[in-house]
Amino acid sequence: MPDHFYVYPAYLARGRSRDGGRRVPAALAVPDVTVEEVVRAAERLGYRAAAEPEKQYPAAADLFQGRAKVTKRAGATKAAFLRALAADLAAHRAPGGKR
């Protein structure tokens, strides 16, 4: 089992449907997510993350948004991580929030 997982910005994108690759509830989705934002948010949550900007989302081969490689922590699931990541991104984008 790998010691990491990949996060594509499409997983968190408000403009995508679940069928289109979004993996968080619509209420948590964030518009215009970048791989750099994903890496910063993962690091704020205590994970090690690295951007891989040359990668593309397989379900949308025309989009070269990159992906983040995130090191797993014991007991953490990808679904729970993505929800926490989306909440962190939304909080830091809110008016008065840190950016």
Give all domains of the chain, ordered by start, each with its CATH number. Answer: 4-93 (3.30.56.30)
Contact 67, 34 (CB under 8 A): no
Question: Tell me: the pLDDT tens digits for 45-60?
Answer: 999 999 999 998 888 7
Q: Which two tokens stand for residue 56?
A: 């593309």
Question: pTM for the complete prediction?
Answer: 0.88
Contact 55, 66 (CB under 8 A): yes
Whole-angstrom distance, CA of residue 72 vs CA of residue 61: 26
Nearest to 64 by CA among 6, 10, 5: 10
Average pLDDT over residues 54-68: 85
For residue 25, how many other CB atoms are within 10 A of its CB? 11
